[in-house]
Chain A
Amino acid sequence: MSPFQLLLQQLANGLTLGAIYALIALGYTMVYGVIQLINFAHGEVFMIGAYAALTVMLVLSGVLTTAAAWWVLVLLCGLGAMGACAILGLFVERLAYRPIRQAPRLNALITAIGMSFFLQNAIMLLYGATDRQFPNPMPLMHWTCHGVTIHLMQLIVWVASAILMIGLQLLVMSTKLGMAMRATAQDLKACALLGIPVNRIIAITFVIGSVFAGVGGTLFGLLYGTINFHDGYLMGLKAFTAAVLGGIGNIPGAMVGGLVLGLLEGLGAGYLSAQWKNAFAFVILVILLLFKPTGLLGERVAERA
């Protein structure tokens, strides 16, 4: 394999991981954009998405056996995870965050952290603390193009995240709901005065973010084959890094940030050191914030204490 092919292969792998980061990062950035909350429980929502997909998979593979095509199974898993996460996001917002929206910022942060502990341990109690195998019904197809191997799974990750992100961009930029979301992010009070149902908009924001995390969880489970109840922690932190990288509160920023982070991590693991892979994300984060605190695409200047 020539150095150039190796580079392309690392880029392909990085892009896959980056797409998943981007899906999760969108949830962080949308919630931050609307209510300036770092939703620490979002990584847990992602993890629960993976477990919901696993549950659907286990139930269906008992019922459908081999009769169904693999893509039906994968699609149903994804839908199951999306549904579960949507309900979860709705409940989390309604029960934990809405009552303290008037409260100090730090309290909201602590609540989010408490929610994260709660969800993580709830899943541990339900599914056990050990790694769970995530069966992948896909055929082991791959294409080799100029020495670069692209697996079917990677292709699905790219296509699914591209469709979702384009859909989100359309929703936010050219529907009435999207306009309300953008308005709420700019000035919540003024929106409320103008008769925009602010609470509903915030709830919808949480639901959309959670749905994306659910898809991310499904893809993550399919891609890696095992899931664990504390996968959400590191993935959540990195996705959050991605959101900051792109400029928190900025939706295209989260997409770009996720992809850039995935690529940098893939390249770093390939060329520098696989051991330090997890540190790259944070080194990038720190350096970026020190020199360009608003992120790659961000315009928001946060001076909140």
Chain B
Amino acid sequence: MRATLTSPRLLPWIVGSVVALLLPLVNPNSYQLDVLTTALLYALLALGLNLIVGLTGLLHLGYAAFFAIGAYTYGLLNIHFGWPFWIGWVPSAIVAGLFGVCLGVPALRVRGDYLAIVTLGFGEIVRIAFTNLDRWTGGPNGLLGIAHPHLWIPGHGVIDFGVSSMPYYYLTCLATALVAGVCVRLSRSRVGRAWVAIREDELAASCVGIPVLQLKLLAQGCGGAIAGLAGAIFAAKQGTITPDSFDFILSVMVLAMVVLGGLGSVRGAVIGALLLGSLPELLRGFEQYRMLVFGLAMILMMRVRPQGLFGGTSRGLKIFRRFHATTS
């Protein structure tokens, strides 16, 4: 398990980091950086959802709700109490994580498809609540005028991130790298192995003394907290958040990224998110056809490589269990 800097397992990460760091210097096109930042935010979300769906095997269809809660928490704290981003993301992550746990207490009484439906219901309720509680959330118009982050850099004084792309790119890069690191460590830890055990066989896991409910709640909490962090970054970057940004399609997109990358694989989640997150933008030349192509790509991908890019080789996943065997 000990990894040194030269170990082949770490090499892709190092190369990836160097490329990510140098990219804006080589290609300072702000539009493309913006697209990448969005894709990296997706990567954060995919990493969080991967803990819930990929490792623990809880099919979650309302993940955008955590993202929304994180974004609104930071937005409200910033607008009403002037909390700066660097402090504001902490309560965002905590509130979203706690929401995940609280939601998990009733929701985890049901399993499988039913859990998927309950989480879908929660996701919709949260979005509708943000739309209708207009006294606090600004209703359908959303929260306006959330401050962009400021950063003091020696020699440059205090800089405002403003609307330029590069600072947000580096910020999301940093966050994604840190979270990915945590996820890798987590997935190999005692907790991570227990999660996988629950996914593989819940009954057997509980029989060997794994506290199944607590660990499921922990997965929900960790996944929620990561989405909360992503939400805070999103709110700080946009300056404006509306409930429309957190719809069911977002939950589905993130799930598609996790599945594309391969369930349970950390690098799969990141790469899946980067691919799917930038694909609609890369297809912008086709403009109106891009979502059409996106849908088609999802269908074809499931036919050609159903286990995802980085998944399903070493472990037999319970979530991968086949339908009733049929004649072909």
What is A's interface to B at a CB cutoff of 8 Å?
Answer: 35-38, 96, 99-108, 110-111, 113-122, 124-125, 187-189, 192, 198-199, 233, 237, 240-241, 244, 248, 273, 275-276, 278-279, 282-283, 285-286, 289-290, 293, 302-305
Contacts and interface: CB of A to CB of B under 8 A. Distances in A.
Contacts of B236: none
Contacts of A289: 110, 114, 117-118, 121
A244 B296 CA distance: 28
Point out which of A36, A37, A106, A120 has the most chain B C-beta atoms below 10 A from its C-beta: A106
A276 B53 CA distance: 30
Point out which of B319, B322, B324 has the most chain A C-beta atoms below 10 A from its C-beta: B324
Interface of A, helix, strand, loop or mixed by DSSP: helix
B150 interface: no
Given A101-B323, A118-B296, 9 more contacts: A38-B113, A102-B326, A103-B323, A104-B320, A104-B322, A117-B292, A119-B295, A290-B110, A302-B113
B298 A106 contact: no
Point out which of B57, B121, B307 has the most chain A C-beta atoms below 10 A from its C-beta: B121
A279 B298 contact: no
11 contacts: A100-B303, A104-B307, A106-B59, A107-B302, A113-B256, A117-B295, A189-B326, A237-B248, A273-B132, A302-B113, A305-B111
B218 interface: no
A289 B141 CA distance: 32
Contacts of A96: 299
Interface of B: 53, 57, 59, 106-107, 109-114, 116-118, 120-122, 124-125, 128-129, 132, 199, 248, 252, 255-256, 259, 263, 288-289, 291-292, 294-299, 302-303, 306-307, 317-328
B132 to A, nearest CB: 5
Contacts of B114: 244, 289, 293, 302
A272 B322 CA distance: 44
A276 B177 CA distance: 40
B118 A198 contact: no
Given A110-B255, A117-B291, A303 B122 contact: no
A81 B104 CA distance: 42
Given A286-B122, A302-B113, A304-B113, A121 B302 contact: no
A250 to B, nearest CB: 14
B110 A110 contact: no
A293 B110 contact: yes
B112 A279 contact: no
Contacts of A273: 132
A233 B247 CA distance: 11
A105 B295 contact: no
B129 A279 contact: yes
A302 B255 CA distance: 21
Contact of B324 (A100, A187, A279): A187
A189 B322 CA distance: 13
B302 A100 contact: yes
B53 to A, nearest CB: 8
Given A276-B128, A286-B121, A290-B109, A104 B319 contact: yes
Contacts of B318: 305
Contact of B259 (A99, A107, A278): A107
A300 to B, nearest CB: 10
A101 B302 CA distance: 11
B312 to A, nearest CB: 8
B325 A189 contact: yes
A303 B115 CA distance: 10
A287 B302 CA distance: 33
A237 B124 contact: yes
Contacts of A108: 302, 323
A117 B324 contact: no
Closest 3 CB pairs of A and B: A114-B298, A117-B295, A118-B295
Contacts of B323: 35-37, 101-103, 105, 108
Contact of A122 (B109, B292, B303, B328): B292
A101 B325 CA distance: 8
A171 B151 CA distance: 69
Given A104-B306, A113-B252, A290 B118 contact: yes
Contacts of A38: 113, 116
B121 A102 contact: no
A102 B111 CA distance: 22
A128 to B, nearest CB: 10
Contact of B124 (A106, A187, A189, A282): A282
Contacts of B321: 104-105, 304-305
A100 to B, nearest CB: 6
A79 B299 CA distance: 30
A105 B319 contact: yes
A32 to B, nearest CB: 8
A114 B297 contact: yes
B164 to A, nearest CB: 31
